[in-house]
Structure 1
Amino acid sequence: MSWIDIGSIDDVPVRGARVVKTAQGCVAVFRTAADEVFAMSDTCPHKAGPLSEGIVHGHKVTCPLHNWVFSLETGEAQGADDGRVPTYPVRIDAGRILLDGAELAKRTAA
């Protein structure tokens, strides 16, 4: 893995998200109430809603456009909805958020 420092955990609000713009597209970085961090594509597969503007609850995010719910851990749509959002390995080291650049590079541009 090739880790890229994308900022401090304090840059991401609790139960919120921030967007990291990459050459391959936008990645949403989410922070849970328990200070866990997850990264996934910022685009909902349903109507291309910005997931970074959704509501974070537990290990899930709800799309702000049509209320689709996605697992932050797997990217899978929850409930009756069918779809998946690409997720990316992320970790915290000394308060810094590190995103796996090797996995990100595998992503096709949107």
Structure 2
Amino acid sequence: MTDDETVSRVLSALADPTRRRILDALVRQGSSTATVLAQELPVTRQAIVKHLGVLDRAGLVEVWRQGREARYRVVPGTMDATAAWMERTAAVWGSRLAAIRKISEAAERQATDHGR
């Protein structure tokens, strides 16, 4: 999967607040089952399993069997490409906004000077 595809899948998966809450719970707990997560969140176990499937396809969580239970944990590093994209985008927009601010302040000073 390319970085661009990874970023798209991660952002799509993180667009849902329930999935973000599941990730938060997994980060806190280290690993968990769908049953335990469903007890903590206001959704059914079946909904949790579907959300975990989306997170798994995005590469954000991994699943393994421990006895009869399926356990889930966050995959470290998957969000690195997304974080890098966000940092680059923020830097571009930060410089653009700074340039706009500079132009706006110059125009404001000029208008104030002409108004005297």
Same fold? TM cut 0.5: no
TM-score normalised to the size of structure 1?
Answer: 0.28
Structure of greater Rg: 2
